[in-house]
Structure 1
């Protein structure tokens, strides 16, 4: 098993960025940061090892700082739009989270309202959503003008209750619903339900769009934002 702390010290990690588009004109709305390993470790495996070694906060906070720094220090960052960066619930409830926010506020003051924290789902951390510390962290993010997204909605612990409690700025529908959307009436009904709900509540993003026919169906259902390999794979910023 790789030593996660050693990999951090060796600077084994970097980020690629996937474009989030606005429809129907495919205008660039922002980017999502995705962590990668120079040693080609699968990101899911990376976080699994980090959890097993009690280093999840270290990896998550390192990833957040590095991604934000790479993004907003790149040429033309003001024209890039918001940056979506994943965060685990356990990071939000950590006593060290306030220190992380303090660092972000000091280093990236002009960009606070362009940083979107995507709350990651984890079957191991589902109970944390109901904790007082989690709710306090959400409240603090709002007070500091950061934005909030719920990630992979429909494929984990996120429930309609969580959506109502948090009132996220963005809801990202899991890629499961975009796959073969054009031929699945059931998936179309679910996507249409989210479109109707989000009209006055949140910005809705459909993830994992890979086929033109699924994209066309998404448009017909009212999807106005999305990302996926149909529009391009994640890459380093140029």
Structure 2
């Protein structure tokens, strides 16, 4: 297994982008940046390697910075109304160095903050981090700078449900488990309807894992207005661009 430092040096890391679409029109609301490695197959293995080597914070912040830098590298992209969703680990948010990193992002891209959504994923190994005082403190810091917040994989664990009430994220992304075979599962339909009703006045609900036309239709019938999944579009390079390897974070 190569070291994360070696992957940085070898120009091994890049992003693909998957659209988040309005339903049923499929008009693109924005794109989620998804980190990929040319050497390590599977992002889970990449993050496991980074964790084992004590490099998860470095990998996570470099991924965020490069996604933003690449996405907004053209005038057309900067002037569009589309959002960029960037994934970030709870463990990154509780690092003492996080405000320093965020300050660098603000200096470079602060005027674009209302279109940048920090998507916090609920890793089972990091559930305790949601209760760390720095977690809420740094979410509030991001909001003061104008960034938006999304909770990812909601429904997979109990941590985000509590925090949904306490922090009211701008976007709630339901785990792909609920989108898969939605049309044939009454229980999933009931759960989706519950979240549709709850988020109506609180957050924007996004259903992940939409892979079949009948599930898309069922989601729309339940009141879901935003979706993501292979049926809509698979992760790919941004339209009109090619893959771009990571660069270092500017001072």
Bin of the TM-score, shorter chain as denominator length? over 0.9
Provide structure 1 residue ranges, at least 5 long, that are not aligned to the other structure.
Answer: none
Q: Per the alignment, in what secondary structure is the counterpart of residue 32 of structure 1? A: strand
Deviations 1:68-95 (A, max 9, x none): 1110114521326110000001111111
RMSD of aligned C-alpha atoms? 1.2
Cα distance, 1:160 vs. partner?
2.0
Q: Give the equivalent residue in structure 1 for 2:234.
A: 233
Task: Give the aligned partner of residue 47 of structure 1.
Answer: 47
Q: What stretches of structure 2 of length at least 5 have no aligned partner? A: 241-251
Report 1:50-89 matches (<5 A): 50-74=50-74, 76-77=76-77, 78-79=79-80, 81-89=82-90
TM-score of the superposed pair, with normalisation by structure 2: 0.92
SS for the counterpart of 1:21 is: strand
Q: What are the superposed Cα offsets for residues 21-64 of structure 1, whole Å, 9 maximum, x if unpaired?
A: 11221111000000011224311100011011110000000100
* 1:2 CA displacement: 1.7
Bigger relative contact order, structure 1 or 2, given CA contacts below 8 A and separation 6+?
2
Greater Cα offset, 38-47 or 86-95: 38-47
The residue number in structure 1 matching 2:189 is: 188
Counterpart of 1:76 in 2: which secondary structure?
helix
Quote the Cα distance in structure 1 between the aligned partners of 2:52 and 2:124.
14
User: Which whole-Å CA distance do the structure 2 matches of 1:69 and 1:235 have between them?
Assistant: 17
Cα deviations by residue, 1:154-205 (Å, 9 ceiling, x for unpaired): 1135342111112100000011001110010000000000000000000000
| Residue number in structure 2 paired with 1:142 | 143
Q: Distance in 2 between matches of 1:86 and 1:80?
A: 20
Contact 2:29 2:83 in 1 (8 A): yes
Q: Does 1:212 pair with 2:213?
A: yes
List structure 1 segments (4+ residues) > 3 angstroms apart after TM superposition: none
- 2:40, 2:46 within 8 Å by CA — same for their partners in 1? no
Q: Counterpart of 2:152? A: 151
| C-alpha separation in 2, matches of 1:157 and 1:12 | 35
Q: Which residue of 1 aligns with 2:20?
A: 20
8 Å Cα contact 1:121-1:157 kept in structure 2: no
